[in-house]
Amino acid sequence: MPRADLTLTIPEGVWIGEVSRAYPAARFRILAALADDDTGVGLAEITSQNVSPVLAEIDASDSVVELDVLRQQEDGALIQFETTMPLLLFPAQDSGVPLEMPFTIEAGAANWEITASQRRLSELGTQFDQFGIPFTVNEIHHHVETTQLLTDRQLELVHTAIEHGYYDTPRQCSLTELASESDMAKSTCSETLHRAEGKVMKQFVENRPNATK
């Protein structure tokens, strides 16, 4: 399953982008958020050397209709807010991509980590374009779910092979030694390992963006 690391540039006029640009040293950590067609509510942790003016700026925003300060110290606060402009939530909702929490916002930029199919990631990019949200893809990597893909026996053997250097270059453990360590016949060890390697490689290739169907 592809996992993407994205940086979103929050458009001008969106309150949290404006506040975070006004106080670039402040860090907003969004712990929870949800939205409907008209409003959004969220829970956020703010870290700043002097958090009071940051809170005042949020409270003064026309698109923040309610602000509750749940906890406040000199250098940080926990807030719950309601806004008429939950713009960042709409692309995720409309593309069907689960938004992972928490995520951070600093100096007008939000950092997201998203796990979704290639089709939904592509749709998310389309939604960003439609909502006028510039974004940068920092990294995409493909995670193979070996704990679901392999049997317990295959997974245990692969772990043993890695631990004893079977996949190192140069190889630190022979197939005979691996079989002995795993208390298997050499032929059984070879077949079990081959089946596990085949499953992992096929899954990896199938999850690539340009995989041949």
In the numeric block, the tokens 């806004």 are attached to 83
Q: Are 128 and 8 in contact (CB under 8 A)?
A: yes
Determine phi and psi for 182, rounding to 5 degrees: -95, 5
H or E element, residue 32 = strand 27-35
- In one-letter notation, the amino acid at residue 172 is Q
**pTM score, two decimals?**
0.67
- pLDDT at residue number 207: 61
Average pLDDT over residues 192-209: 80
- Calculate the CA 51 to chain-centre distance: 27
Instruction: Tell me which DSSP letter residue 169 carries.
Output: S
The mean pLDDT of 126-139, rounded to a whole number, is 94
37 vs 51 pLDDT, higher one = 51
Structure tokens of 97?
A: 């991509």
- pLDDT score of 57 more than 70: yes
pLDDT, residue 208, reads: 59
Q: Which of 11, 2, 40, 10 is nearest to 28 (CA)?
A: 10
Nearest to 93 by CA among 132, 137, 123: 123
- Which of 53-57, 95-99, 158-162 has the highest average model confidence (pLDDT)? 53-57
Q: What residues does 30 pair with on adjacent strands?
A: 44, 103
Q: For all residues of the chain together, what is the average pLDDT?
A: 90
Residue 74 has pLDDT above 60, yes or no: yes
